[in-house]
Every structure is written in C-alpha cells, then in structure tokens.
Chain A
Amino acid sequence: MKTLFDKTAGGEKGAASILVILMLLVLVTLGAFAVTSASANLKFSRKAAEWNEAYYELDAMGEQFLAAFDGKLAEAESAARQYVTGGLSGTETEPDAGIFSNIYLYFADMYIRELAPVYSGLDVSVTYNGLSAESILASLSVEYEPDEGGLRGIRIAVRVKPPEYQETDSGTARYGIESWYEYQGGDEAYEEPPVQLWDGSL
C-alpha cells in the first residue's frame, strides 16, 4: 500500500501539492466559519435593534396614554372646581376639602372611563376609605404581536389622588405611576412575577 511519503514507490511526487491543498482546505474551512459566524452576529445585532425599536414603540403608546390620561384629570379638576364653586355659591364659607376631593374623584373616574373606547385594555377602580373615595387606580395593558409570533405588551398602573383644593397650579403631577413593566407571552404572563422597569418616582 502506498503512503504519502513512500520513497520506495516514488510516492513523494506531488506531496507538496497535497500539503498545499490540505492547508488551503483548512484555511477555506476556517474562513467560511468566520464569515458564517460574523454574518450570524450581524443578524443577531439587527434583531436586537428591532426588538429595542419595538420596545420604544410600546413605551410610546404608554406615554401617549399618560398624556391623554393627564388631560382627562385636568378636565376633572377643572370641572370639580367649577362644580364646587357653583354648587356652594349661595354659602359664605369656603368649600370643605373633603367635599372637593370626593367630587374631583367622581369627575376623574367619569372622565378617565371616557378613554376606554380608545384604550381597550384600560381598567379603572376606585379605592374607598369608608364611604368616601380615597384614590383611583387605572391600569392599562398595551399589546402587539410581533411578526415572528408571540406577544409583547406593556402594563402601566397609575394612581390618582385628589389635589389640594387651595392649589391651582402646584407644579406637581396629577398622578403617580405605580408600575410600568414589559411582558412577553399571553395572559399567563400576568402570573409571572413582573420585571419592574420603573417604580414611578421621578
């Protein structure tokens, strides 16, 4: 049987070429591997970038909701002040802060619910302390289905507390963000402990 460097049978002929061919094969294999790996890296980076862009689209929907929500609270505050002033115009005394709070929350609840046709995932609940309303908790889920399947969403919970009656332009927000997190998957995602992105404090 002839071997590559079998001198007795003249097997050394072409051995240099065979070595070169082997070397080239190794180099081509490594080169192809490098190109494939780099190409996969680029694809992954682009995918991650798309994922990030989609996150900000969801986040933007949340911010849009906050804008609409705050607009409704502004309307509620204005309506409550007008109601209190008009309703108690026959009296000499200043309206009680507790009355204003209750009326404000009543209007806020009513106006926030007007957003429901636009934001189908909106859920509004009023928290009571005894017989008087204490705060309103509004939570919203915004979802979309990416092309590659699955489900992505953002869930926002906002708490509304009545403003001080005396303050008309206090420079503070009308609401506090209780939670703001992203989730993936279907309804079962709610059962998973959420990854909190922001506790709502500025």
Chain B
Amino acid sequence: MGRGGFTLLEVIISVAALALLSVFILQMFITAANLNKRSQDVETAMTRASSEIEFVKSYSSLAEYLKTGAEASEARYTAEDGGSVTVTVYYGKDWETVPEGGGALYSLVMTIAPEAQTGEPAENAVPGKLYSVRVIVEEILSGEKSRTLASVSAKKYFPVTQTGGGA
C-alpha cells in the first residue's frame, strides 16, 4: 500500500459501483432520447397535419381536390362515403410515405365532411359548401394500440358556384 496505484479491492469495488450506477445513468440518457424523439414526432405530426389542411384549402372546390390532389401520391388512400371524404397516409420510421402494411409506424387520417349550412339558401341561389376538415396523426404502437400525436380541426368554405352546389 505504500507504493503508488490502486489496490485490487479498490478497483473491484469501484468498477462494481460504476457498473451498478451506470444502469441508472444510462436510463436517464435513454429517457432523454425518448423524450426528444417524442418531441420531434409531435412537431413532425403537426407539420404534416397543417400541410394536409393547407393542401385542401389551396383548392377551389372539393371535386378539384379529389380529382388532382387526393391521389397525389401512391401511398394515399382515399375513401368517399356519401359527402364525406377520408384520406389516409402511412409513414415509416423517418416519416417517409409507405404503403399500407409496409412497416408503417405513423398514420395520418384526414376526414373532410360537409357541415350543415346555417340558414336556408334563397330560391335560385347557389351557395358554396362549408366543410369541416379533421386531421389526426397517430403513432402506431404494437397490437391495436396507437398514440395520438396531433389532432387538428379546421374548416374550409368552397365558394365556387358550380352547378350542383359548389363541391
């Protein structure tokens, strides 16, 4: 002990302590990484949701959107039910669009539904239509579970007075 350096016992105890406490320290870094990932996911989800809404709002009628915009990419699935339209997009690990069932980790579902018009339109008047646009972006977890990252509700009024009610 009179010589410089550490004893074997000291080293063993120190390494053991370091190993034990490293587990907790590592846990902290993992937690930080997870929180950062979730934060990035929330931001990206909101950007995607806003982007989808603005995309719809950039069209002058729903019919035009359905004709050219809704199927703009292969990985977009559009379903029409009565007057409502549902657009579903799946994203992979890095938020790249992927086909349904192709290892999707995130999903974006946009529902465009007509709203009840306030007031009765006058005779011979051809008013436009007001639509509610709802976008929900979710992280697909294991099983049937999912976690909502962004949920945005907007409205869009299509004023174009085409024959048939503007849509």
B156 touches A63 (CB 8 A): yes
User: Does A171 interact with chain B (Cβ within 8 Å)?
Assistant: yes
Bound-complex Cα distance A45 to B163 (A):
44
User: Does B97 interact with chain A (Cβ within 8 Å)?
Assistant: no
Chain B residue nearest to A177 (CB atoms) is B159
Contacts of A19 in B (CB 8 A): 14
A42 touches B28 (CB 8 A): no
> What's the count of A-B pairs with C-beta under 8 Å?
164
Bound-complex Cα distance A169 to B28 (A):
66
User: Does A99 interact with chain B (Cβ within 8 Å)?
Assistant: no
A34 touches B157 (CB 8 A): no
- The dominant DSSP class at the B interface is mixed
Bound-complex Cα distance A30 to B4 (A):
31
Bound-complex Cα distance A16 to B13 (A):
9
Contacts of A60 in B (CB 8 A): 132, 153-155
Chain A 164-201 against B: per-residue CB contact (8 Å), 1 yes, 0 no? Answer: 00001111111100000000000000000000000000
Q: Interface residues of B, CB < 8 Å — how many?
A: 62
User: Does B84 interact with chain A (Cβ within 8 Å)?
Assistant: no
User: Does A145 interact with chain B (Cβ within 8 Å)?
Assistant: no
B117 touches A12 (CB 8 A): no
Bound-complex Cα distance A37 to B29 (A):
11
Residue from A28, A56, A81 having most chain B Cβ neighbours under 10 A: A56
Q: Which of B21-46 contact A (CB under 8 A)?
A: 21-22, 25, 28-29, 31-36, 38-40, 42-43, 45-46
B29 touches A5 (CB 8 A): no
A45 touches B39 (CB 8 A): yes
Contacts of A56 in B (CB 8 A): 50, 53, 152-154
A70 touches B28 (CB 8 A): no
> Shortest distance in angstroms between B45's beta carbon and chain A's nearest beta carbon?
8
A34 touches B29 (CB 8 A): yes
> Shortest distance in angstroms between B151's beta carbon and chain A's nearest beta carbon?
7
If A75-B125, A81-B124 touch, does A14 touch B42 (CB 8 Å cutoff)? no
Chain B 128-167 against A: per-residue CB contact (8 Å), 1 yes, 0 no? Answer: 1110100000000000000000111111110111110000
User: Does A124 interact with chain B (Cβ within 8 Å)?
Assistant: no
> Shortest distance in angstroms between A129's beta carbon and chain B's nearest beta carbon?
25
Contacts of B159 in A (CB 8 A): 66, 70, 173-175
If A38-B35, A68-B119 touch, does A31 touch B28 (CB 8 Å cutoff)? yes
Chain A residue nearest to B45 (CB atoms) is A49
Contacts of A110 in B (CB 8 A): none
Contacts of A68 in B (CB 8 A): 118-119
> Shortest distance in angstroms between A131's beta carbon and chain B's nearest beta carbon?
28
> Shortest distance in angstroms between A176's beta carbon and chain B's nearest beta carbon?
10
Bound-complex Cα distance A7 to B5 (A):
9
A-B contact pairs, 17 of them (CB 8 A): A12-B5, A14-B10, A16-B14, A24-B21, A35-B32, A35-B35, A45-B43, A49-B46, A57-B153, A67-B128, A70-B127, A70-B159, A71-B117, A77-B125, A169-B161, A171-B162, A173-B159
**Interface residues, chain B, with chain A CB atoms under 8 Å away:** 1-6, 10-11, 13-15, 17-18, 21-22, 25, 28-29, 31-36, 38-40, 42-43, 45-46, 50, 53, 60, 115, 117-119, 121-130, 132, 150-157, 159-163
The 7 closest A-B pairs by CB, nearest first: A74-B125, A31-B28, A38-B35, A34-B32, A60-B155, A78-B122, A67-B130
